[in-house]
Each structure stands twice: as structure tokens, then as C-alpha cells.
Amino acid sequence: MVKLPAEPPTVKQLRDIGAEIQNIEGDTVLVRIYRRGGDYPTRWNDFRHFGPLNARFDHHPIEGSARYHDDHGIYYAATDLTTCAAEVFQDTRTINLSRKDPWLVAFEPQRPLELLDLTGAWPTRIGASMKINTGPRAHARAWSRRFYAAFPEVDGLLYSSSMHANEAAVALYERARDAFGEQPLDRRPLRDPVLLGDLKRTARRLNYQLVVE
């Protein structure tokens, strides 16, 4: 039996099994590293409408044909800095504090978020496994598109980071946009000296390189 089939169950099959929801309460702090420079600068609360790219849970239609979708946006975050850095810098395993002007934001959702829980037994119940967090990304994107269609009430996904000890990470669909406030709790460039100690510890824990200049 394939642990993460390329073709997920139908919308009806998923609805018949039912969703397993994990609520992220409004007092939970989420963190995100985003880039304010480069060819595609973003703001702290921007959802990415261009896709699907190579990210695991992009739900944009038409796999392999990345383009802009007004009605499909994705936003990745985590509950701690180390998980966030592990995910964002996984391709190079280098935390570069200057390239493309990376910033860290911390914010609290303005309302509870209803997330499909991919961290427990539910993936097995629906015919997948924990491989949905670690297996082929194209397969995971297909499942995310099917989740999005089957459960229009959910704000996104709670999943286990494959890069940092299965710690919690979130992928929010554009449905969660109204959970963002006007201002975050904190927002600062990664090169801010205040963050240097934490980033050094993060780099040591992950065995990532840290480039300060």
C-alpha cells in the first residue's frame, strides 16, 4: 500500500470520513520569516497568490502551471523561530541575514483558526500517512487541493515540520485573511542585533551556516 498516494480520496470520501480539526486560539503567537527585497518583495501579512511552487501544501489549481490566482493564496508560518528558519532556509541550509532582506514577524491571530490536523492519526484514516509531511511535495499539494475543496470551513493545515523535529507548522489558506490584524506583535529584520543570539543558537541546533554580513 502506498503511504502517500498521488491521487487523494474524492471530496465526498473525505467528507464522509470527516475532518479532524485543531483550533489555534487567538492568543497563540505565530512567526514567519519573509523577504522584503529581491525580485518579489512581500509584506508580513501577504498571502502568496502565485503558484503552485515547490512548497508542500500550495493549493493553487493546475499542478505544474504556476501562475497568479486571485482566489487562491497560501501563507506558511510556525510557532517558533527555529522551525521557521529550518523551513525557510532548508534548500541552502544557510541562514543569510542580508540576502533579499529577510524579516521576522510575530503575530497573534485575531480569531481562532480552524486547521485540519495532519500531525496525528487523521492522515492514516483518510488513506495517507505521516508521509504527507515528508513525502513527495507534488503529492502533498494534490491532497491540499482536495482538502481545500472538501472542507470549505477550514482556514488551513496544521502539519509537522520535516526539517525540525516534527514541530508544529501551519499553512493558511486565503480564507484566514480576516484573522490578521493591522499590526503584528513584533516585526524586525533578521540582521537586527536583538535576534543574533537566538539565530546563532538556531544555526547550531540545525547545523545550518549563519551568514551575518
Tell me the percentage of the chain whose pLDDT exceeds 70.
100
The verdict on residue 109 lying in a domain is: yes
Please indicate, yes or no, if residue 50 is contained in any of the structural domains.
no
Residue 126 within any structural domain of the chain: no
DSSP classification of residue 148: H
Closest CA to 166 of 88, 106, 91, 83: 83
pLDDT digits (tens, 9 = 90+) for 32-71: 999 999 999 999 999 999 999 999 999 999 898 899 999 9
d(CA 135, CA 189): 32
d(CA 117, CA 114): 9
Query: What is the domain range of residue 24?
Result: 11-45+75-121+150-211
Residue 36 lies in a domain: yes
pTM reported for the whole predicted model: 0.97
136 part of a folded domain: no
Q: Are strands 113-117 and 156-160 parallel, antiparallel or unpaired?
A: parallel
Average pLDDT over residues 134-160: 98
- Torsion over CA: 195, 201, 202, 207 (sign): positive
How many folded domains does the chain comprise? Answer: 1
